[in-house]
Amino acid sequence: MRTVDEIAREIASTEATLRRLHKEKRAAIKNRAVPIVAAFDAGANTADISEEYGLSYSTVQGILYRAGRTHTGRMLMRARLGLEGPAQVRT
């Protein structure tokens, strides 16, 4: 039977490993989101992005939502920059 100290060391080691893996997972998710958000900002629609990256439509929508991107927001920004006529902007 193991001692309490041995068990405590194993718990601490496992906790450190889980923290490292969680940090790595967050970085991977962030890195995956960057090109998706860039494609959306460049004008691609959500369905095309989901097809290009092999993700479900809802996954792409979630990534864009967390990045603060919406179709309406993109349309309003393009109108402010003079890239679309005011007739195309709905508020």
User: Which range, of 13-22, 64-73, 81-90, averages the lowest pLDDT?
Assistant: 81-90
Q: Is the pTM of this model over 0.75?
A: no
The tens digit of pLDDT for each residue in 61-75 reads: 999 999 999 888 888
CB 13 within 8 A of CB 21: no
pLDDT above 90: residue 89: no
Q: Which helix (H) or strand (E) holds 18?
A: helix 4-41
Domains (ranges, CATH) in the chain? 4-88 (1.10.10)
